[in-house]
Amino acid sequence: MIEKKVHMTFSLAVVVAAMTGCGYFSSVSYQEDVNPILKERCAACHMAKGEGTQKSGFEVSSYDTVMKGTKFGAVIVAGDSASSTLYRLVSGKVNKSIRMPHGEGGLSPEEIAVLQNWIDQGAKNN
């Protein structure tokens, strides 16, 4: 019986260590992690006077403009990526015709995970 408890405790420790090592529990920073993705992958259309900004009102020039969302409403529900339009649009959980970004194949799984984790961690301005 003791061997089972030790084995279970060790197994749980390995799982937690693996999850921590892959960034699952890491704190995601808007400034260091999210903003560079938005600038690199979204800014071409979603900066002031960009085509995407003109159509939707969504701009990625600052944390405040990102949190403001579009002329149709917020795109981020802090703490709930599944209910966040931004996450749904970049992760392909919507019709392909409106998946973001258009064209170039979308964000990488790693970039999507960063946005998802940031939103789920409260979408903080950190």
Domain limits, the chain: 28-120
Whole-number pLDDT of residue 14: 37
User: Cα–Cα distances in Å, from 99 out to 10, 12, 59, 88, 105?
Assistant: 42, 37, 16, 8, 9
The token pair that represents 2 in the structure block:
């003791």
- Rounded to two decimals, the pTM is 0.79
pLDDT reading at 70 higher than 50: yes
Whole-number pLDDT of residue 1: 54
Please, what is the average pLDDT of the chain? 86
Average pLDDT over residues 62-78: 98
Residue for token pair 């998802």: 116
pLDDT reading at 24 higher than 50: yes
Average pLDDT over residues 15-44: 78
Whole-number pLDDT of residue 41: 96
Whole-number pLDDT of residue 96: 87
